[in-house]
Amino acid sequence: MTQTIPTGNRDDEIQIYDLHKSFGQIEVLKGISTIVRRGEVVCVIGPSGSGKSTLLRCVNLLEQPTQGRIFILNDEITDLDADVDEIRTKMGMVFQQFNLFPHLTAMQNCTIAPIRVLKKDKAEAEGNAQANLDKVGLGDRGDAYPAQLSGGQQQRVAIARALSMDPELMLFDEPTSALDPELVGDVLSVMRDLAKSGMTMMVVTHEMAFAREVADRVIFMDGGVIVEEGPPDEVIGNPQHERTRTFLRRVLDPTHVDTGAEDEAYQQRHAADESKATQGVDTSAHSPER
């Protein structure tokens, strides 16, 4: 994809062109380009350190790209003159950690931003928040504080909080990675329902079954580039790239051991860092995957 200007099509909700991001000497994203269309669910998979979370954080400018352009509903969030806060109101984000305000109830966590940022009156904000808490199965826990909720419940409140801003699209950064395995299902069920409702979603995840079932498109990243992308049945079910096959073997069959092409791919991916290390460059000072 060589285009660097917005398509002008409002259905192209996220447009990313030639995105680069470096942390010091380490280039984490190396020219990412993709478009997420209205109602599309895109799951981003890949090994730790591949740049998945950094990509997602660049989309809403939690990380400032080193190079490249990002358009949200044809507004360029990477423009130096952009009203970033205004553009961010169009996006909900759910993080690995729940990031709830511990001194506020679930209801208050869901209403504080609509009241202060969107200037909604309290009654309207509470009505909308109650509907979203109902949507995530926590309609009766509005008065509960985060410490009184399980991890899965806190993450569902975080989703309700994001939805209470009436976003046009949602970003999820490994939303189940901090949860006990028995709590993962409840959060994924909420995300499935959200996808069915037509919400545009960009999801960084290690849940391959979820990606295969819910995603319209899967992006496999490694070494800061998109290695392979396409429908989940192709990328997960019949990957064409050896690196994708290696990754999926390890994820889907953790006991699998192969010292052939896997080791070669791993060594190639880390050759640059090893070279820098031998030259006295401290690569540990930078954390490419946030």
- Give the CATH number of the domain where residue 243 resides: 3.40.50.300
Tens-digit pLDDT profile for residues 201-229: 999 999 999 999 999 999 999 999 999 99
Q: For residue 179, what is the DSSP state? A: S
Q: What does the pLDDT average to over 265-273?
A: 51
Q: How many domains does the chain have?
A: 1
CA 107 → CA 123, 126, 245, 281, distances in Å? 12, 7, 44, 49
Helix (H) or strand (E) holding 56: helix 52-59
Torsion of CA 133, 139, 142, 145, to 10 degrees: -80
Contact 129, 111 (CB under 8 A): yes
DSSP H or E stretch at residue 252: helix 242-252
Residue 256 has pLDDT above 90, yes or no: no
**What pLDDT does 6 receive?**
81
pLDDT at 286: 43
Q: Tell me: pLDDT of 26 over 90.
A: yes
224 within domain boundaries: yes
Beta strand extents in 87-193 (DSSP E only): 91-94, 169-173
Write the CB contacts of 278 (distance below 8 Å, at least 6 apart in sequence).
Answer: none
**pTM, entire model:** 0.85
Q: Does residue 6 lie in a domain region?
A: no
Query: Range of 123's domain?
Result: 12-254
Asked if residue 111 lies in contact with residue 125, where contact means CB atoms within 8 angstroms, the answer is: yes
Average pLDDT over residues 241-261: 78
Q: Does 40 map to a domain? A: yes
Q: Is 214 a domain residue? A: yes
Residue 241 DSSP SS3: coil
The pLDDT value recorded for residue 189 is 94
Structural domain contains residue 288: no
The yes-or-no verdict on residue 132 having pLDDT over 90 is yes
DSSP reduced 3-state for 95: coil
Average pLDDT of 66-76?
95
In a domain, 37, yes or no: yes
